[in-house]
Amino acid sequence: MLNMILKKTETKGIPTQVKNHVLVEQRRRQIVDAAVNLFIENGFHKTTTRQIAQAAGISIGSLYEYITTKEDVLYLVCDAIHAEIEHGVAEALNRAKNGKNPFAEVIREYFMVCHRMNDHILLI
């Protein structure tokens, strides 16, 4: 039974000790948003996980319940960009069902996502 409790689950390929997937997504979003600003300001290598935790408003111990390494945060930044583009393209294709040009809608949405996530994309 103890092994079942201590066993880490995985979300998006990154191990986590938290079983509530909604909470994992929420906290990881906080971590990513805080880290992007710090990485841009200080650089990836000069930013510490302690700084990321503080900027995200969580303890360093809590941070390590949601990620294993600082590189995991960079992976989550890439994943957030990909997820936003995927969602945007799906929305654009739905809008195109109403007679609009699907290609034009997808291109428009792609640039809108790039605009919304410009800090994330600049970091990568």
pLDDT in tens, 46-86: 999 999 999 999 999 999 999 999 999 999 999 988 989 99
Residue 2 lies in a domain: no
pLDDT in tens, 95-119: 888 777 888 888 989 999 999 999 8
Domain extent, residue 95, equals 14-118
Residue 55 lies in a domain: yes
Residue 7 lies in a domain: no
Residue 5 lies in a domain: no
Residue 34 lies in a domain: yes
Q: Are 92 and 109 contacting, i.e. CB atoms less than 8 angstroms apart? A: yes
pTM of the shown model: 0.76
CATH number of residue 48's parent domain:
1.10.357.10
- Quote the tokens at residue 28: 């990881």
Give the DSSP letter of residue 21. Answer: H
Residue 9 lies in a domain: no
Structural domain count, the chain: 1
